[in-house]
Structure 1
Amino acid sequence: MTSTDAARRQKGTRPFSRFEWVLAGRYLRARRRDAFVSVIAILTMVGIMIGVAALIVVMSVMNGFRGELITRTLGLNGHFTGFPIEQQFTDYEQVRANLEGVEGVVSAVAFVEGQALVSSPYNSSGANIRGMSLEDIEKLPLLYQSVEYGGWEDWDELEGVAIGSRMAANLGLAIGDPLTIVTPNGPRTPLGSTPQIRTYPVNAIFDVGMVEFDSLFVYMPIDAAQTYFRLYEDRLREGFEELDPLATDEEIDAAYERVGMATAVEVFLADPDATATMQRPLEDAAGRPMVFTDWQTRNQTLFSALQVERVVMFTILSMIILVAAFNIISSLIMLVKDKAADIAVLRTMGATRASIMRVFCITGTAIGFIGTILGFILGVVIALNAEAIRAWISNLLGITLFPPEIFAFSELPSRVDPLEVTVVLAVALGLSFLATLYPAWRAAQYDPVEALRYE
């Protein structure tokens, strides 16, 4: 033996050499006498696959819910809502124009809003009445483009209403049918307030995909809403300093003008997350006392709960991968016990402890790697086709999975986040590798003499 061969023998094999990979591959392949160990390895692989797939699917669906909730909520409600204080909001058109001139503001809309009871000959329900001009409705693409029946033609001139598809189904209404709106705050009489009752034809039926809006909101022209909720004041026109007590009705109508009021104004930003830096410029640009509240403050409880739920679900589902990782430990320990004689022979032939440890680390990590890749493929496929799968299962079983009345959406949303998928894969691979360390270390500690004594 040359000095070079002796030095190579003393040094041992190169880390992660072909010898180690070939040996680890042989230990992964099933033989008749190793069938039980191989079955445990396969079950471990399946467990990791299911855990990774479940994590990807659940996190994608939760991302979809959060994304759709933000998109649809902010598609109809502004990033800021400004409420007037100290004086009546009769200058809403000027305020709206001032706010739209602020850098970073996409649009601003003014509206009249109130609660009422809506009814038809067949049913009745509570509703949120919102009065808006056609110019402002066009600034809300989610609403403007979601009309299924009817349309917005001559919206400001016609005293009609637009209702959601679920409200139309609940009340049994179609285009042209009358909708009666009732509010207790009507005209005052010596005996007290009387209910305000008006009937309007249905001009449009929309479907924005959110149960809350499709079943609760009624839109009408802002002038009609101001008249219905009595949000106006009669002002003497310029040039009429005083009116003759004997003036005719025509002269009185000519002398006075009706000035409507708005309830609030909503502002849409180019960057929804820039609320902290935009509030002061909006307050300064309004030109009158107003209180602005941003969408994060209005929905803080909801989105905080969603964030907590995402973290909790990630932690719980990660335990599936953790359990599968423990199966890697048990399967490798059994494999080490079964291969004790082989380890002893390898040690006598010059294999180092580190080489033996790497062989079993490669074996266990390979189980986790294959399970992780299969889970990644399965999870992404399911996440990208979540709605189709939901519809197929619903049709197959004859039941409604994720009913929109509970989950607020007519479809099951799903959005795959590459960063979250990367984190899931890293967690699965990391746990798989950590699970191999103890069995591999135990294999490396085998004494060849003791292992071969009874062979």
Structure 2
Amino acid sequence: MTSADAARQQKGTRPFSRFEWIVSGRYLRARRSDAFISVIAALTMIGIAIGVATLIVVMSVMNGFRDELLSKILGLNGHFTAFPIEETFDDYEAVRDRLEGVDGVVSAVAFVEGQALVTGTYNSTGANVRGMTLADIEKLPLLYSSTLAGGWDDWDDLQGVAIGSRMASQLGVTVGDTITIVTPDGPRTPLGSTPQIRSYPVNVVFDVGMVEFDSLFIFMPIRAAQTYFRLYEDRLREGMEEPDIMASDEEIDAAYERIYTATAVEVFLNDPDATWDMQLELEQAAGRPMVFTDWQRRNATFFSALQVERVVMFTILSMIVLVAAFNIISSLVMLVKDKGADIAVLRTMGATRSSIMRIFCITGTAIGFIGTIAGFLLGLVLAVNAEAIRAWVSNVIGVALFPPEVFMLSQLPSRVDALEVTVVLVMALGLSFLATLYPAWRAAQYDPVEALRYE
């Protein structure tokens, strides 16, 4: 062997030399005699691209669902809900202010809540009626800024209500119309309780973008709600004597004062995940016995189901990439058999077994790399424009995809997570590389003499 041949052989043994890249590139380019193998390689690229894109889109949509549901749920419901242990909760404003002064608390709101039947122009439905002051409503940006019709001006002084857009559509009412609210727990008579029936004008129609809230909740001024649900008691004023049965209404009103109570206080934190650290401090700051329930315990089953679904979907959809990686094995095995004579010639010219192995590793990995990058770009485009694509497809086929009544959100959310995308890309590239090892090893084992015997 001449010194030039030795130099060429030494150059060929270096990892991923120019010679190996050139040969791998020739094997990747389609020729008429290799058309079938090239078609298989192209289909393998498409399979990897589809698998990667599907993983990115599905995981992004599931991330968007979780974030959107979390923001909606915690936009109206606090990270903590504090319920009084005693039946009377007349110091709710003082408790609210004390809780709001704790470090790490963004705001606290007191509210009155009850279930009722609501009747409109065309229909009736059940509702969750919640009474709040305007100052507390302003602490809920999701609600305060979601007004579709009407306004919150003079909210505390009015006897009107705010209802969700879906409830308004179901009842056939809008701003200025009247709804009737009915609850069975009304005034008590010798014959039992009578229904409490009152009519209220609609002052606000809101749309927070979550079906549950837009079709279920009714908000009214807290004083109106306390009166409607009879959350008050008349106490004899300090220093006053109980009037006799012949006293006038004016004397009775002067002797008694009406004390209003609330249902609970909701607390909003800077860090939603700090509930375990904050609970003891909030219990001490309340200044009275209260039961604190955090959002994680209230929605534990729901968010656990979402997490399990994310893991299962990732595992199942990863199989698409795995199947495409097996296609790399089949296409490389066919390529190795087709290029048996070429491998023998390269071996006789001084190419080592490791060089032959690297050539086919580069070829297979390039197929996986191109497919992964194509899938990455396609997945990003689809994930970023998920809602626009959903709306377009729904209009074309005339069928509502992801109906809000089922998925609870009025739009299809999507959030691309950089870490998850990185994991998907690394997994696809890793599987593509591993799939090349066996065919490349088989190619490196070719005996030049046997391969060229019948040529």
TM-score range, shorter chain: over 0.9
Equivalent position amino acid for 1:148 in 2? L
Q: Tell me what 2:168 maps to.
A: 168
Determine if contact 2:336/2:439 at 8 Å carries over to the other structure. Answer: yes
Q: Tell me what 1:353 maps to.
A: 353
Please state how far the C-alpha of 1:178 moved relative to its aligned partner: 0.9
Q: Report the Cα distance in structure 1 between the residues aligned to 2:365 and 2:7, rounded to whole angstroms.
A: 31
Q: 1:6 to 1:432 in 2, by over 3 A?
A: closer
How far does the alpha carbon of each residue in 1:130-152 deviate from its partner, in whole angstroms, 9 at most, with x for none? Answer: 01111100000000010110111
How far does the alpha carbon of each residue in 1:317-366 deviate from its partner, in whole angstroms, 9 at most, with x for none? Answer: 11011111111000000000000001011111111111000000000000
Q: Tell me what 2:125 maps to.
A: 125
Is 1:38 aligned to residue 38 of structure 2? yes
Q: Tell me what 1:411 maps to.
A: 411
Q: Tell me what 1:439 maps to.
A: 439
Unaligned runs of 5+ in 1: none
Please state how far the C-alpha of 1:41 moved relative to its aligned partner: 0.1
Is 1:380 aligned to residue 380 of structure 2? yes
Q: Report the Cα distance in structure 1 between the residues aligned to 2:316 and 2:164, rounded to whole angstroms.
A: 38
Q: SS of 1:274's equivalent?
A: helix
Q: 1:25 to 1:4 in 2, by over 3 A?
A: closer
Q: Tell me what 1:270 maps to.
A: 270
Q: Report the Cα distance in structure 2 between the residues aligned to 1:12 and 1:40, rounded to whole angstroms.
A: 29
Q: Tell me what 1:77 maps to.
A: 77
Q: Report the Cα distance in structure 2 between the residues aligned to 1:347 and 1:398, rounded to whole angstroms.
A: 62
Q: SS of 1:382's equivalent?
A: helix
Please state how far the C-alpha of 1:283 moved relative to its aligned partner: 0.4
Q: Tell me what 2:50 maps to.
A: 50
How far does the alpha carbon of each residue in 1:256-309 deviate from its partner, in whole angstroms, 9 at most, with x for none? Answer: 111111111100001111001000000000000000010010000000000000
Please state how far the C-alpha of 1:416 moved relative to its aligned partner: 0.5
Q: SS of 2:156's equivalent?
A: coil
Q: Report the Cα distance in structure 2 between the residues aligned to 1:25 and 1:77, rounded to whole angstroms.
A: 59
Runs of 4+ in 1 over 4 A off after TM superposition: 1-5
Output the TM-score relative to the length of structure 2. 0.98
Q: SS of 1:374's equivalent?
A: helix
Size of the aligned set, in residue pairs, is 455
Q: Tell me what 2:240 maps to.
A: 240
Q: Tell me what 2:67 maps to.
A: 67
Q: Tell me what 1:333 maps to.
A: 333
Query: Pairwise mapping of residues 207-356 of structure 1 onto structure 2 (< 5 A)?
Result: 207-243=207-243, 245-356=245-356
Equivalent position amino acid for 1:211 in 2? V
How far does the alpha carbon of each residue in 1:134-183 deviate from its partner, in whole angstroms, 9 at most, with x for none? Answer: 11000000000101101111111111100000000000001111110011
Q: 1:340 to 1:149 in 2, by over 3 A?
A: same
Please state how far the C-alpha of 1:13 moved relative to its aligned partner: 2.6
Q: Report the Cα distance in structure 1 between the residues aligned to 2:4 and 2:332, rounded to whole angstroms.
A: 36
Please state how far the C-alpha of 1:5 moved relative to its aligned partner: 5.6
Q: Tell me what 1:184 maps to.
A: 184
Q: SS of 2:350's equivalent?
A: coil
How far does the alpha carbon of each residue in 1:20-68 deviate from its partner, in whole angstroms, 9 at most, with x for none? Answer: 0010000000110100000000000000000000000000000010000
Q: Tell me what 2:137 maps to.
A: 137
Q: Tell me what 1:392 maps to.
A: 392
Please state how far the C-alpha of 1:399 moved relative to its aligned partner: 1.4
Q: Report the Cα distance in structure 2 between the residues aligned to 1:166 and 1:11, rounded to whole angstroms.
A: 73
Output the TM-score relative to the length of structure 1. 0.98
Determine if contact 2:242/2:255 at 8 Å carries over to the other structure. Answer: no
How far does the alpha carbon of each residue in 1:228-273 deviate from its partner, in whole angstroms, 9 at most, with x for none? Answer: 1111011122332443554321121122111111111100001111
Unaligned runs of 5+ in 2: none
Q: SS of 1:156's equivalent?
A: helix
Please state how far the C-alpha of 1:6 moved relative to its aligned partner: 3.8
Q: Report the Cα distance in structure 2 between the residues aligned to 1:38 and 1:309, rounded to whole angstroms.
A: 38
CA root-mean-square deviation: 1.3
